[in-house]
Amino acid sequence: MIWIFVFLAPVLVLVGIVVYVWVRVYPAATQGAKKVAPLPPAVQSDRMIEGEPCQFETSDGLTLRGTYLPTDGSPRRGVLVFCHPLFASRWGVADYLAALRRGGFDVFTFDFRNHGTSDKTENYNPRPNLTLFELDDLSAAIDYVAAREDADPQGVGLVGLSKGGAAALHVAASDTRVWAVVADSAFSVDWITSYYFRRYVGIFTPMAAAVVRKMPWFLYLLYARFIQARVARQLGVKTCDLLNVIDHVRQPVLLIHGGRDQYVPVEMAYTLKRRIGRLCKLWVVDKADHNEAVHRAAAKYEDRIVRFLAKHCPQATWSPATLPLSEPQVAQRADRPPATVSGAAS
């Protein structure tokens, strides 16, 4: 009899904790995941750029719009696809564009669905969660660039910010046309949910917090995935978490993250670097908040991303002397698109 009690006691305690968390935490966590995005509104540049207006279709028939900007240098080193953050538009490329074009790259920037001037999917409200919609949009953008008369047969590099960085890494895990990725402030929603649940669990379950915080990390992750799956069903959106595919990224990756990121803890970047492995380089900009490294590090930021891309592009005939890095100059465009905002953990 005593052995049955010894066996059942830990099980009953665990069941009790699960029930307590379910009743006290789950409703609040679910509602919070649906209504409150851990992202600030991003500051969208109002500087416009010249370029060739483009449009292309997604696999589900939406028309997305973008702009193709050829390199300022000669010869062309490669083609880059820019992936903007949540609540932003393709014009967010302005802060990065001049250095990339001077470095010898064509840049294609586009609006994800429900952003900028691209078509909208009805009843879809974009959130930090990465969905099949964003992955389909980015794949369609790569298809479009690959089908152009001036296409680079070697493929494309991807430059993504926040949610755009997560999309870039996710697509790179399965698309061999991608030869390198620069991801600034990329994140996994499941990981962030796990992190903040563990950090703030005491607010909801003060009596069980000491026990809950000693639970293994994978249990937090399972709980986070359960919450996100439930939210996805309620919102009618199929979500795709980056951690599910990050081990399959085989291209060179440059991760950039703000050391003072208030929305995506810097530990996220170290987790991604560890999972990607030796081909991944991580640069933490100590005083930068979310998506703020380009402003905090300025010329050093431009230098790093251009040299990384020049080193790993298929036509890697480069040397430090061939990379003309000067102060960015963003050309003005006559037809000004509507202003939007760009995101943080977007």
- Residues 173, 301, single domain; the answer is yes
Q: Which two tokens stand for residue 153?
A: 């047969």
**152 and 62 share a domain?**
yes
Quickly list H helices, 148-246: 163-172, 189-204, 209-212, 217-235
In this prediction, residue 15 carries a pLDDT of 45
Specify the 3-state DSSP secondary structure of 308.
helix
Beta pairing partners, 53? 67
- 223, 321: one domain: no
Question: Locate tokens 């540049």: which residue?
Answer: 45
Under the banding of pLDDT at 50, 70 and 90, the label for residue 225 is confident
How high is the mean pLDDT of the chain?
A: 80
Residues 169 and 297 in one domain: yes
Report which of 111, 134, 125 is spatially closest to residue 236, judged by C-alpha positions: 125
Q: Which residue has the higher pLDDT, 283 or 208?
A: 283
pLDDT in tens, 257-270: 999 999 999 999 99
Last residue of a domain, one of 233, 260, 294: 233
pLDDT digits (tens, 9 = 90+) for 148-184: 999 999 999 999 999 999 999 999 999 999 999 999 9
Average pLDDT for 119-124: 92
Each residue's pLDDT tens digit, 38-71: 444 444 444 567 899 999 999 999 999 999 999 9
Instruction: Name the domain boundary from 199, 233, 267.
Output: 233
Which of the four pLDDT bands, split at 50, 70 and 90, describes residue 214? low
Please tell me the total count of domains within the chain.
Answer: 2
Q: What percent of the chain has pLDDT over 90?
A: 58
The CA distance from 152 to 79, in Å, is 7
Domain that holds residue 57: 41-188+241-343
How far from chain centre, in Å, is Cα 57? Answer: 22
184 and 210 part of one domain: no
Q: Which long-range contacts (CB under 8 A, 24 or more apart) does 303-308 make?
A: 303/99, 304/254, 304/256, 305/96, 305/99, 305/100, 305/159, 305/182, 305/254, 305/256, 306/99, 306/100, 306/102, 306/103, 308/180, 308/182, 308/252, 308/254, 308/281
What confidence score (pLDDT) does residue 92 get?
A: 93
Q: Do residues 109 and 90 touch, judged by C-beta distance below 8 A?
A: yes
Q: Are residues 157 and 25 in the same domain?
A: no
User: CATH number for the domain including 59?
Assistant: 3.40.50.1820
310/227 same-domain check? no
Same domain, yes or no: 164 and 18:
no
Residues 121 and 203 in one domain: no
Residues 130 and 168 in one domain: yes
Given a contact cutoff of 8 angstroms between Cβ atoms, the answer to whether 255 and 274 are in contact is no
* Same domain (yes/no): 127, 98: yes
171, two tokens: 């697509």
Alpha-carbon distances, residue 182 vs 156, 252, 289 (angstroms): 12, 9, 18
Helix (H, G, I), strand (E, B) or coil at 106: strand
Does residue 227 sit in the same domain as residue 258?
A: no
